[in-house]
Chain A
Amino acid sequence: MNTSVDTSLRPQPWVETACLEHEVVLWDNRHRQAYRLNPSASAVWMCLADEMSVDEITAELSEVFEAPHEVVQPGVDAAMGDFARFGLLAAVDAVDQPASLNPPDHYERHRPDDRDLHATTAGDVVVLRPVRDCGCVDDYNGWAGKINFRSGRYVVAVEYDSDDTAAALRARCAPWSSSDRADLPAAFGVREAKVGFRRRRVGVVHHGASARHRLDGLDTAVDAVATFLAEIGRPRPAASVAVTARAFSRGDRLVLGDVASSIDVDERQLRRLGIDEIITFRPLVDLSTGKVSFHDTDHDLTGVVVVGQSSLDDARRRLWTRGVGPQRRWADFIDGLGDRLIWDDPDPASALDRALS
């Protein structure tokens, strides 16, 4: 490793450390975020806490693990890069940063100040993320702030990652603006959504519903939040149930689908198949007519797709709604779909293609 200056890096003063059975857990008290370190990252961190330099850490771990420097050094670099990326380190002497402390080439860099990136919709905005074999830290939330909106009886807290995102949210979601305090907790009937740039896509994550969308571009994500606000506060007609599902269409056909969050939906494949997704979170289904409504339109339901369940019973349970009565009615309804309910195809695109044929 080549260092021009023996730059000392130390844990930030607001980072607490707990060592539990040879695993280290960190607490960033400024951002209220916990991190669990894998064994190698734990070893690097404890050396940092002992005020060792990077060279000393590499030497120490080489001896402890009885491995050559050239084998140990990439792991040390990766751990230091992660610690720095998550703001856990402070440079004691910030004259020159050693070259090896820059994130390695296989990292992608987030550039929130580049307005051109925000304007594109092709997934060019990326976040700094480790490749699979280098992941040292479990979780990261770099959310800059939170805005509360009100829809019906719900307060929806939307976290954002930048001022541009916040401005877009406030403009698009103005009808739901709220003067509610920002400190209302999620436990207090507050739904949460997050709009930011993660894993190469803008994403909206809603706690309390399994809907999870990865979208191209800020505008689409903000529209998704507006859709969520519109849906969550609307009254529910007696004959309808609110279903937690995504909606896909091709031509004049519409399918409701639920895909386990661990399964990726190949959106390029969907585009090749001519399948579009309609952003919705809790579409209403009129069980008497089989019509689905979201936004301000009604659609005939062609079928239902469930992916990622091992049995039909699991599939039925997966398409849940709140309440025993609605659950039962929805289960009866999808039983009546016959071969329009597809649950046995592990590939979402293939299942949707079948359902929309």
Chain B
Amino acid sequence: MTDPTDSLADEQSDRLDPPRSDPDDRRRVGPFVAGRTTFLVEAVESDVLDSIGSCLRDLLVPDDQLAGSPGDEPAVLLVERNRPSWLPQPWVVYRDGVMCANTITGDAVAPYVLWEMTRVLLDSGPDSVTPVHASAIVRNGQAVLLCGAPHSDKSTLAAWLIHRGWAFLSDDISLLDVSDPGAVEVHAFRRPLAVPRSGVVDAMVDDRDTVPDDEHDEVLIPASRLGLLADAAPLVAVVFPSSSSVAEAGLTPQTPAKALTTAAAQVPELAHDGANAFHALASVVTNVPAYWLRFENLDAAHETLAGLVDGAGTSDPDRATREDEP
């Protein structure tokens, strides 16, 4: 048996280490849906389940859809505390009885559960849906994709837009349906938003006591705590946001080639087929305009994007030609 004090235990033997809790003692929450897969989450500790359920509440299968859930049995994610309590990372996550993550801190349990759901979605997505590392929000029934590298303020901007009345489609992983290249649609994947813990969060959330404290850099917030949720919507713009100084702020059209190069770098590594995803993105940028958005503050970004969607685009009139990224 693996020595539980050895944090460098052989990975193979770890994966064979079965759950230790009594199934009769476990409670469950769900079902949650990610793509075509439903999930149940189990744990002995009710506070852990409550935390996960609260975090992932936007992924719950609506009651009116329970009877029509996919025929496959839901995957079961078990969260178990089976390492010595003095270890700072005593939690383990199993999927259908197989260990998929160990040595987890208590505050990383929900992110790991969410990651497992996302990973299954990426592994099993239908060919016509292309995942992109992006957030998607909706205004007047039209979707805007916020795309870019990690830590480019996509989630913070998306959260702020929702707070300002836009509706939420997805954060971190957006699903693009390119079966009709002339009418690209963004599907909903209502992961909680991962936003930096900051005054911005304080301004958006009513019940601040339920948001994790300053010890953490990022928190997961269900979009329903911020505003409206949207269903699938047609994509009208791809935006690459970046915070900037006032002098540089504005909306700059991008060439399809530049947009494709930037967007292709944001296809998740686990996406099923990189080549198909690349061509799908090529058709997206051919049919949907792309912009670089430099914003000095979130309200300025909101105003600019609202103008873009409402058809009163605020692109710099002095920039007659599209530019490369700064």
Chain A residues close to B by CB (< 8 Å): 14, 16, 18, 20-21, 23-25, 27, 29, 32, 34-36, 138-139, 150, 152-153, 177-181, 183-189, 192, 207-208, 235-236, 309-310, 314, 317, 322-325
Contact = CB atoms under 8 A, between A and B. Distances in A.
Interface of B: 7-9, 11, 14, 89, 100-103, 105, 107-108, 111, 115, 119, 133, 149-151, 172-173, 194, 196-200, 202, 214-218, 245, 247, 255-258, 260-261, 264-265, 267-270, 274-275, 278-279, 282, 285-286
Given A35-B261, A187-B172, 11 more contacts: A18-B257, A18-B278, A20-B256, A23-B255, A25-B282, A27-B278, A153-B216, A177-B7, A184-B115, A185-B270, A325-B199
B173 to A, nearest CB: 8
| Most A CB within 10 A of own CB, among B11, B172, B270, B282 | B282
A237 to B, nearest CB: 12
A139 B108 CA distance: 34
Please report whether the interface of chain B is mostly helix, strand, loop or mixed according to DSSP. Answer: mixed
A183 B261 contact: no
B282 A18 contact: yes
A177 B279 contact: no
10 contacts: A16-B275, A20-B260, A21-B255, A27-B278, A179-B102, A181-B101, A184-B115, A188-B111, A310-B245, A323-B199
Contact of A29 (B105, B217, B255, B275): B275
Given A322-B198, A324-B198, A314 B282 contact: no
A180 B101 contact: yes
Contacts of B255: 20-21, 23
B264 A27 contact: yes
B8 to A, nearest CB: 6
B194 A189 contact: yes
A310 B247 contact: yes
Contacts of A235: 215
A34 B269 contact: no
Nearest to A18: B282
A189 B270 contact: no
Contacts of A188: 111, 115
A29 B278 contact: yes
Contacts of B264: 25, 27, 34
A20 B257 contact: yes
A270 to B, nearest CB: 27
A21 B173 CA distance: 28
A320 to B, nearest CB: 10
Contacts of B89: 150
Contacts of A34: 260-261, 264-265, 278
A153 B270 CA distance: 23
Contacts of B173: 187
B115 A153 contact: no
A207 B291 CA distance: 22
A157 to B, nearest CB: 11
Nearest to B270: A183
A324 B257 contact: no
Contact of A187 (B133, B216, B267, B278): B133
Nearest to A28: B274
Contact of A179 (B11, B275, B279): B11
B14 A179 contact: yes
A24 B257 contact: yes
A139 B325 CA distance: 13
A27 B274 contact: yes
A208 B218 CA distance: 12
A183 B274 contact: no
A150 B112 CA distance: 14
A153 B8 contact: no
Contacts of B111: 188-189
A27 B265 contact: no
Nearest to A309: B245
Contacts of B149: 207
A207 B267 CA distance: 17
Contacts of A192: 150
A29 B274 contact: yes
Q: Give the interface centre of B14, B216, B217 by most chain A CB atoms within 10 Å.
A: B217
A152 B199 CA distance: 23
A36 B267 CA distance: 16
A25 B261 CA distance: 7
Nearest to A208: B151
Contacts of A322: 196-198, 217
B107 to A, nearest CB: 6
| Top 6 A-B residue pairs of the complex, sorted by shortest distance between their CB atoms | A324-B199, A23-B257, A34-B264, A18-B282, A20-B256, A27-B278
Contacts of A139: 261
Contacts of B270: 183, 185
A323 B119 CA distance: 30
A98 to B, nearest CB: 30
Contacts of A23: 255-257
A183 B260 contact: no
Contacts of A189: 108, 111, 194, 218
Given A25-B261, A153-B107, A153-B108, A179 B197 contact: no
Nearest to B114: A188
A186 B269 CA distance: 10
A333 B105 CA distance: 34
Contacts of A138: 261
Contact of A21 (B7, B151, B257): B257
A153 B105 contact: yes
B279 A18 contact: yes
Contacts of A187: 133, 150, 172-173, 194
B134 to A, nearest CB: 10
A21 B259 CA distance: 12
Nearest to A182: B269
Contacts of B275: 14, 16, 27, 29
Contacts of A14: 275
